[in-house]
Structure 1
């Protein structure tokens, strides 16, 4: 089926309670906005960066809408490029080693990183209770789990939220840069996480809240793509290819428990044969 512009029409998302998770053996979680409300920390950090910068350049003021439209889910320097392009501002690329004071793409990205660390220290972060409940459920069911985040701060965020010990596999912005893995909206980071878990992509669920992340999941051959609506909007997540859309991840608990029960080995029937006394 196609839309009026001849682009494929995505299937209608299913009710999370009815999601078919029977073949899912691995869960690939985005971090910011999925496991932790660090999207808010990132939003505040980007605002700390771009509010004075855009004012100094006489450009349209920065708003939270800019975060969702140009930055959310992208690697840091890509977010800088995207926002600058939206304002018609051109800067030199610079180098990744540029000082945070440099007015280059990399300098601004490094300035944002400093702003993020300062904001995280000031505000802290606590994991979403519903996300922790889902982590507990899928772990009990024997599934493997990984974090896939564009941020290079994923280890610090996981530690601050008390989640670091839960994940053996973390594919973040630092790993992507080191291994030359294309960032979201390409599916490569999720594919790498599945590979590190030792699972085929079709046996993995992608869990995302960002437009670029859902797009990445839909672009790969994953078993299911879960869109978490933390502000992007259900309609946008549906259009980008989310198979299931939730407001909170605990909405998936009935489907996880049903799949776990269906895959559990049957207990042997009690023996009815009586042994002769010796």
Structure 2
């Protein structure tokens, strides 16, 4: 279907409201002759004279009177569609946000995020999904925000860097082994391998950059178990003679709740990135932007409690 020239709509509205070519020309800021030519085009498009001579002026035809409210409404809707969205009232937003991440995010940032939601956007509900295959395509229709580190992302997925974090070794304090000394005691590479390790990997991989650094020193560790969550690693460390290799922020919370000792890992390990990713359709979405800004603020407010990265210890 061939669409009419929509640029004629403002002129039609002006002609029907003013009831004269001269008045419509003044409203549209064009010459009377230009408006006369536009009226001729409108007559051909509409199939009606619209304005006809009447004494010293002009009169609307019956069809023009019918069109007057329609033209005004259509022009108003068109203008509304072309305006930027009004500021969002977060208190009135009713929406679910699907966030995919690991348990470290929920522990480190979760309480502060929920407090902000309850205070600023009480109609928002967070649905936190566990890590899976991390397919960036999920952000197109299934996941609103991914927190962690995605593999290479397609052009329609945005990524913003939030922070970096390090891994530490959490262990139950006390006992006969010197490797289970207080957190204030520096841990040596030999002490780091004196106890077995519990590592976190969704796919059960026991080797990581930690093993490469130990090999450079002629050392090797024993991985007692791999588990899918950092919480499981800490609980296993609490009940066994093993180090749980977990993010520093998570370890800080776990140490307070579970009375674990936390040691810096005595190796040159690279910092691990923590990002958030979303689909481009959410770029200008005010509520989604509020969620992203809130997480950026919360991550920046906790420089020592940076959340876990999904593949760093795998």
**Normalising by structure 2, what TM-score?**
0.27
Going by fraction, where is strand more abundant, 1 or 2? Answer: 2
Decide which structure has the larger Cα Rg and report it: 2
Higher relative contact order (CA 8 A, sep 6+): 1
